Chains A and B, each alone.
Chain A
Amino acid sequence: MRLLEYQAKELFKEYDIKVPDSIASKDIESGRKDAEKIGYPFVIKAQVPVGGRGKAGGIQKCHNEDEFELKYPQVLNMSIKGEKTRAVLLEKMSEYEKEIYLSLFLNRSKRCYTIISSAEGGVEIESVEDQVIREVGSGDVTKKVAEEVAKEIGLDENSIPHFVDILQKLSKLTVEKEAELTEINPLVILKDGSMMALDGKIMTDDNSNFRHKELAKYHEQTDLEKKAEESGFSLVELDGNIAVIGNGAGLVMSTLDMLTDNGGKAACFLDVGGTATEESVYEALTLISKMKNVKAVLVNLYGGIVKTTIVASAFLKAYDDKIIILPVFARLMGAESDKSKEMLKDSETKLSPSIEEAINKAVMEVNK
């Protein structure tokens, strides 16, 4: 799960990491009440699960009611990199001396957690040259290690204990909540040397959700995503008009790449899991039928163990039951594919011997 800024800050507060006064809302009526509580001036921040919102205009200063009435709806209704604003955070402006960077991050090839810190904060860490990187095994950070990092990024004596404190709290949060990434950027140093998290990003391990009922409230899903999850599918909604279905994440990604290379735009990525069955294909088509803007369906299945005839009968059943009226372009690899072709010859499902051909036909269909 990728937590929104305000959700990350709720967790920071829970772990006693200082954050600015702020309140999140999802409509302007609540926003007006929040504005009174916070008091002008403040910052309006779009809550989106994607980076780069500052540049996209998702962070606006607000000095009075007139500005609020103008800017709140703008921020609430904006989309950044295809992501709609999920909530709006009103946040007290903070005065500070310096911005720094701090994160704990799961290094996949080293199979350990890594502290990344820098004296330069508030910008994307990848663009920063002077990074201090320390491997910390399963994520626990000792006082000694935290002090060393603080010194390496050049903090003064006054700030070091505050940094150590925050890093150890962040480490506790990371381990206890099973996060793959916890990032404070910027972490700001206040006049008295203490520190505050001005922004926060947390990515948790979805596979550990069953151990974290307390995080369930942050699990924001669309109805379609919820249905997909119940069926054991992975769904990512996209903004094109060709729905892409397949079995196995790699195969579906590969299909999406080839479709895009050939001028098509995917409406979704739908992985029904490694083994495609009659039921799973029928359910996938049911799910697609509920999506808007879909003009064609592209199916890429590698049968392997399952006979393709079983999949073919799922298509026929979906048309018979009037689940779907869209044209389907499919490539079914596996046993009995000739027989499947025969079964589908009078249906709206067009079988192709190669995925390339199925893609071309789907792209032609939507451009017709």
Chain B
Amino acid sequence: MTDIFELLKGKQNSKGDFQKQPVIVQGITGKFGTRHTKLMMEYGTNIVAGVTPGKGGQKFENTVPIYETVKEAVDKTGAKISIMFVPAKFFLGAAKDALEAGIKLLVAIPEHVPVQDTMKIVEIAKQKGAIVIGPNTPGVMIPGLIKIGIMPASPFKFGNTAVLSKSGTLLYEIGNNLSNSGFGQCITLGIGGDPINGTRLVDAFDMVKDYPALDGIVVVGEIGGDAEEVLAQKIIDEKFEKPVVAYIAGRKAPKEKRMGHAGAIVMGNYGSAESKITMFSKANIPVAKKPVELPILLAGKMEKK
């Protein structure tokens, strides 16, 4: 499996600095893409190229070259990472281009991507050995080092807790709570609120569980599907011993209604908060009743160790 940390950080040079990995932006000239590219660059992310068909040859902010195709951008820069801001109906084509051009980490921001399109991309990513995060994700970041996404910088501080979330703003809220309580983060990753995720909760767990300095994992789940249940079972099966705490949004949501996210829907018992909370308690993972309780639960788990 590709090491997400190495993929994001690059290798340390002789001075101990990380060689920041080059990142390209698909849809760099759109309003949303432009705004967040600037914010990522401010954060220190090494944006080396943009892709916007019809605007090849121009420069973004007079510095970043824009290419017609992902292939051209990859050939010129050697980038293995791409973040995508294209409208949902162009996701399939744009994601295919990226994976075929050799992108190994694709962060797909667009919301409202049809499930069948995501399923097709998941298949291609498997064949190519690539990681897709999203769609409908806020992105991924290593606080203080690299931000590939649309999350604000302020809630997150560097540390040793991993945060994995289905939700965007709830990730910011909880990141802020954790940072304020002294739990900095080694990685924060939004898997997205869609029914089908390029990186599932269990995949995200696999990416972070062997990180040497890791001292705990915070899972921010929500109603819909069975990602939380599957993760809880995996944690039981693998006898994972580091502290894990969780939060589930949507306990009081009505059944059979989509609650904002395409994936946030309870059908019968499938996707219900009760089912998730029951499985988490089987795995000895405490579930917070509200976001502000998470740092307290995490501190409690760490003391017990």
Interface, chain A (partner B; CB < 8 A): 2, 49-51, 81-82, 106, 108-109, 111-112, 124-126, 138, 175, 178, 180-181, 203, 205-208, 210-211, 234, 236, 238, 246-254, 256-261, 269, 271, 274, 302-305, 333-335, 354, 356
Contacts and interface: CB of A to CB of B under 8 A. Distances in A.
Given A254-B291, A304-B169, A249 B264 contact: yes
Given A181-B267, A304-B151, A304-B152, 19 more contacts: A2-B256, A81-B255, A108-B196, A109-B200, A109-B230, A111-B119, A206-B262, A207-B112, A207-B113, A208-B114, A236-B254, A249-B261, A250-B171, A251-B173, A257-B249, A257-B252, A260-B252, A274-B138, A335-B154
Interface string B201-224: 010000000000000000010111
Nearest to A112: B119
Interface in B75-101: 88-89
B226 A108 contact: yes
A251 B122 CA distance: 28
Interface residues of B, number: 66
Contacts of B89: 210
Given A108-B227, A111-B196, A208-B115, A234 B258 contact: yes
B253 interface: yes
Contacts of A254: 170, 173, 247, 249, 290-291
B150 interface: yes
A304 B173 CA distance: 9
Contacts, number: 170
B235 to A, nearest CB: 14
B222 A249 contact: yes
A54 B249 CA distance: 30
Contacts of A334: 152
A108 B195 contact: yes
Nearest to B32: A275
Contacts of A246: 169
B54 interface: no
A333 B267 contact: no
A108 B250 CA distance: 18
Nearest to B150: A274
B262 A250 contact: no
Interface in B99-144: 112-116, 119, 122, 138
A251 B169 contact: yes
A254 B223 CA distance: 11
B157 interface: no
Interface string B262-302: 11100111100000000000000000011110000000000
Contact of B225 (A108, A238, A333, A354): A108
Contacts of B200: 109, 111
A249 B170 CA distance: 8
Contact of B155 (A109, A252, A256, A304): A304
B169 A247 contact: yes
